[in-house]
Amino acid sequence: MKKADLCEVNFINKKKVEFVRKRMKSEETYQLLAETFKTLGDPTRAKIIFALLQQELCVCDLANLLGMSKSAISHQLRVLRNMRIVKYRKEGKVVYYSLDDEHIKNLFEECLRHVQE
């Protein structure tokens, strides 16, 4: 760290610290948050999420789109499903995937805007 990155004096603003301390979340919440970002941090999963932002797709569609095997896509979808990022529905013998909810859509779109600026 550069010296400019550090405080030159040791002063704690107790009011500010207490204000934030009261709003801190549980350790479990931060663990889940970190796991969610870790899950989103994989380029293949990011592509899957982007594709599902466009429209609901089945495993075969995603495999074709990303040039991967159905098995590899299924593995990634299982990870995303376990983190409640995607959900699925069956129609006959076909399983369609979509984003789990608006939160995921908003989070992903906001991150995308951030990296594209």
Rounded to the nearest integer, the mean pLDDT of the chain is 94
Helix axes 27-40, 102-116, angle to 10 degrees: 60
Residue 26 has pLDDT above 80, yes or no: yes
pLDDT tens digits, 47-81: 999 999 999 999 999 999 999 999 999 999 999 99
- Sheet containing strand 86-91, strands side by side: 57-58, 94-99, 86-91
Separation between Cα atoms, residue 51 and residue 59, nearest integer Å = 12
- What's the per-residue H, E or C state across the chain? CCHHHCCCCCCCCHHHHHHHHHHCCCHHHHHHHHHHHHHHCCHHHHHHHHHHHHCCEEHHHHHHHHCCCHHHHHHHHHHHHHCCCEEEEEECCEEEEEECCHHHHHHHHHHHHHHHC
Contact assessment for residue 48 and residue 62, using Cβ atoms and an 8 Å cutoff:
yes
Supply the pLDDT for residue 6.
Answer: 75
The domain 25-116: what is its CATH number?
A: 1.10.10.10
Amino acid identity, residue 57? L
Residue 1 has pLDDT above 60, yes or no: no
